Chains A and B, each alone.
Chain A
Amino acid sequence: MLTIRNLVVRRGSFELRVNHLAVPRGEYLVVLGRSGAGKTTLLYTIAGFVKPVSGSIEIDGVDVTHLPPEARDIAIVPQSYALFPHMSVLSNICYGLRVRGVSKSVAEARAREIARRLGIDRVLDKKPRQLSGGEQQRVALARALAVEPKILLLDEPFTNLDPEARHEARKLVRDLHRELGFTAIHATHMFTDAVTMSTRVAYVDRGRIAYVGTAREFASTPYARRYVEEIREVARILFEA
């Protein structure tokens, strides 16, 4: 379980404040907000890349506020996927396990297993630049899931995909979440992600968490007006389905 209390983060003139946010184990929280609202800052602070001015972050009752990223047991899938370009897909997926002291044979067996589950077992010997956008996204996901993190952070993971690949990716991540039960915090500007993926939605507006609740309830709040067109599109897709 992740608990954030009285968190204040400053980056230049921008300030992020989170008075209280609790994410129970196994939840899929979608952090929704427009560009520059503070979604990535929130994720980076949870991951330990950004130091807060004050407040605390606890994971399973342990205060990790001042712990370095490598000691938090959190994995991140950034928007760019950040695949290590000099390594093969297999080495990318194995990386987290290897740095945690897992033997090469065990790490590779685990990587192959997760690659098979994500449908990328045929590209294990390739370099990231040889992959399509969808494949890169799945490799980044496999690399993060391979270490079985306490919390998985996803920063706009579907933004760089075309609509069809995005639809596939949403389904894949949703199925993986149901199957593996990991805790996920997913930052996005797309309401569709919130509707199709989330257990709950946290809406971030100008550095403040303005709403926390279900996506269905969010649709009836004033903040949802910004997503009217997208909501109509979702409704159309659901209707067609």
Chain B
Amino acid sequence: MRRAEPWLVVASAASSLAILFLFLPLAALFTMFDPRIFAKVFLYNPVFYRVARAAMLTTFEASGLAVALNACLGIPLAYILARKRFRGRGVIESLVDVPLLLPHTVAGIAVLCAFGHAGLLAPITKPLGIYIEDTFLGIVLAMAFVSAPIMIDTAKVGFASVDPELEMVARSLGASPSRVFASITLPLAIRSIAAGAILSWARALSEVGAILIVAYYPRTLNVLTIEWFSMYGLPYCIALAVPLALVSIALFTLLRLVIQRAHD
């Protein structure tokens, strides 16, 4: 009988522990989930459901808008970074990734410093009546700031993977640059862009640190979870956490499908 190699035994044991470590908290979350508390929180107790439903709506609306903002501003930037060579390109690429590396509270403070009532852009935003402190806009900006790098980086990889010769041939056949972008570049990079949007949305949904600094109100599900943890304890937090976990798992599944189709 063949004896297993010692390093393989150790690696298998470590792998099993790693899988257990990653799986156990998620399994525990669903095991400890109490449907009665969930019903109370979201369905029949107005004290809870008014707040919980509003927080859920705020979370999904704000994260959706943050992804839309990232797409509108980030996709053109990703295209330029993937296709054009210019001085300072490396600096811009590094700057794009900075929000990923900042501690979340620092990201929140940075957003306040830029767009807050005493921020750099205050001379422009104040006369226009634009405020981000404790506003829905503040949540959108905080979410967009922390999730934009993921959208830009993923879209950039998608654009970079499109063979420039395809674009050249399309132009020689008579297509304008915008037509080439719409008919060749974008369709070929769309799966990367979709993956970027999904990852960016997941990141925006999970944000709490920056939002706590910029806009505690209106409360998102994450902020409400922290609040209820100190007020009502774990069971009520689980009722709030499970829908978020389910959405995250659904997003992850969608991402896998997008990536799988890209490879087919």
Contacts and interface: CB of A to CB of B under 8 A. Distances in A.
Contact of A147 (B171, B174, B176): B174
A70 B184 CA distance: 15
A99 B170 CA distance: 9
B163 interface: yes
A72 B175 CA distance: 11
Contacts, number: 64
A95 interface: yes
A44 B176 CA distance: 17
A147 B173 CA distance: 7
Nearest to B169: A82
Contact of B168 (A49, A84, A86, A100): A49
Given A84-B184, A86-B187, A70 B176 contact: yes
A105 to B, nearest CB: 19
Given A70-B176, A86-B187, A99-B175, A80 B170 contact: no
Interface residues of A, number: 26
Contacts of B163: 80, 82
Interface string A215-228: 00000000000000
A76 B188 contact: no
Interface residues of B, number: 18
A95 B188 contact: no
A69 interface: yes
A99 B179 contact: yes
A75 interface: yes
B101 to A, nearest CB: 35
B5 interface: no
A96 interface: yes
A80 B166 CA distance: 10
A48 B171 CA distance: 10
A70 B175 contact: yes
A138 interface: no
Interface of B: 163, 165-166, 168-177, 179, 183-184, 187-188
30 contacts: A47-B168, A47-B172, A49-B168, A49-B171, A49-B172, A69-B168, A69-B171, A70-B171, A70-B174, A70-B176, A74-B172, A75-B172, A78-B165, A78-B168, A78-B169, A80-B163, A82-B168, A84-B184, A85-B166, A95-B170, A95-B173, A95-B183, A99-B170, A99-B173, A99-B176, A99-B179, A99-B183, A144-B173, A147-B174, A153-B172
